[in-house]
């Protein structure tokens, strides 16, 4: 089951007033804290469903409603800008479509998935996470990471404006999910995109351990290449700056009241 945990701003976003009556998809949760929920729940039909916990926060940027949705465990986030206030069903459709599209795109980038994998992923996702619940509650640690996503998003909006298409939104998702994260439950740093794709391939496409190990190696190789590129870029930039400063020093004229030591020695000889 898909569980959408809403901050106060998100709860207000999903609530609309018709006449004098307020309509909202929010329900009262059994537990105040997300961490107190069980891993699975029983559907009304008697089937068992895995809880898929996300936290959503609503902001405004350039007078547009925007939502940042983050998965509780991996801290993988999706930012939606083409959202209509009060439209919970439309949000769920757009959210799931973006999530699957992002995973397919990332899997293709790693040469692990193809277009043919989209439909099986959708079917398995629908089967595993049938139904959706909205609750007003939030995890403080998750919100800290959401706030960081919001900070980067506002910077992008200031420089480039609001994303004009789902593809531009996905590009921002790709960027922000490549940033290093850490939590109290993990001693090492991780990137949300890598955590999410490994879980995705394991739980939705039933990759065996051999294929998961190949995935981890591909991710490690990709991270190393990204680090090498960053190192080389920094090295080149430093070299360029050094050469520029050296050239400036060689061509700079000295003030009249400053004695050149080289000129002084030449005259003495």
* 10-residue mean pLDDT series, the chain (269 residues): 96 89 91 89 70 96 95 97 94 96 91 90 89 95 97 96 93 95 86 92 88 83 64 53 53 44 47
Evaluate whether residue 144 is within a structural domain. Answer: yes
How far apart CA 9 and CA 26 sit, in angstroms, is 13
Residues sharing a CB contact under 8 Å with residue 213, sequence separation 6 or more, in sequence order: none
Q: Is 109 exposed, middle or buried (0-12, 13-18, 19+ CB in 10 A)?
A: middle
pLDDT value of residue 232 = 59
pLDDT value of residue 226 = 62
Residue 7's nearest CA partner among 144, 138, 148, 150 is 138
pLDDT value of residue 10 = 98
Q: Are 82 and 94 in contact (CB under 8 A)?
A: yes
How far apart CA 24 and CA 255 sit, in angstroms, is 74
pLDDT value of residue 233 = 55
Distant-in-sequence contacts of 149-152, Cβ < 8 A, 24+ apart: 149/68, 149/70, 149/77, 149/79, 149/176, 150/57, 150/59, 150/68, 152/176, 152/179
Evaluate whether residue 228 is within a structural domain. Answer: no
Tell me 93's DSSP state.
Answer: H
Question: What is the Cα Rg of the chain in Å?
Answer: 26
Evaluate whether residue 250 is within a structural domain. Answer: no
Instruction: Give the 3-state secondary structure of residue 161.
Output: coil
Q: Are 99 and 197 in contact (CB under 8 A)?
A: no
pLDDT value of residue 247 = 58
Give residue 39's domain range.
2-161+171-177
Q: Are 131 and 1 in contact (CB under 8 A)?
A: yes
Evaluate whether residue 213 is within a structural domain. Answer: no
Number of structural domains in the chain: 1
Distant-in-sequence contacts of 226-229, Cβ < 8 A, 24+ apart: 226/178
Evaluate whether residue 78 is within a structural domain. Answer: yes
pLDDT value of residue 87 = 95
**Cα end-to-end span (Å), the chain:** 89
The bridge status of strand 64-71 relative to strand 52-61 is: antiparallel
Evaluate whether residue 72 is within a structural domain. Answer: yes
């Amino acid at each position: 089951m898909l569980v959408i945990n809403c901050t106060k701003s998100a709860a207000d976003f999903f609530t609309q007033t018709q006449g004098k009556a307020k309509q909202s998809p929010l329900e009262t949760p059994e537990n105040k804290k997300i961490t107190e929920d069980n891993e699975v729940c029983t559907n009304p039909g008697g089937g068992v469903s895995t809880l898929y916990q996300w936290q959503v926060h609503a902001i405004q940027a350039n007078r547009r409603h925007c939502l940042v949705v983050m998965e509780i465990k991996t801290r993988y986030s999706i930012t939606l800008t083409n959202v209509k206030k009060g439209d919970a069903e439309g949000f769920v459709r757009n959210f799931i479509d973006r999530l699957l599209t992002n995973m397919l795109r990332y899997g293709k980038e790693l040469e692990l998935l193809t277009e043919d994998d989209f439909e099986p992923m959708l079917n398995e996702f629908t089967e595993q996470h049938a139904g959706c619940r909205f609750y007003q509650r939030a995890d403080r640690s998750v919100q800290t990471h959401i706030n960081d996503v919001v900070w980067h998003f506002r910077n992008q909006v200031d420089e480039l404006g609001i994303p004009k298409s789902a593809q531009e939104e996905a590009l921002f998702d790709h960027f922000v999910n490549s940033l290093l994260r850490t939590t109290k439950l993990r001693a090492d740093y991780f990137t949300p995109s890598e955590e999410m794709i490994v879980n995705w391939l394991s739980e939705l496409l039933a990759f065996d351990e051999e294929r998961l190990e190949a995935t981890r190696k591909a991710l490690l190789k990709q991270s190393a290449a990204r680090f090498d590129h960053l190192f080389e870029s920094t090295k080149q930039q430093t070299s360029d700056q050094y050469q520029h400063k050296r050239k400036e020093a060689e061509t700079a004229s000295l003030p009249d009241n400053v004695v050149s030591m080289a000129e002084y020695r030449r005259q003495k000889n």
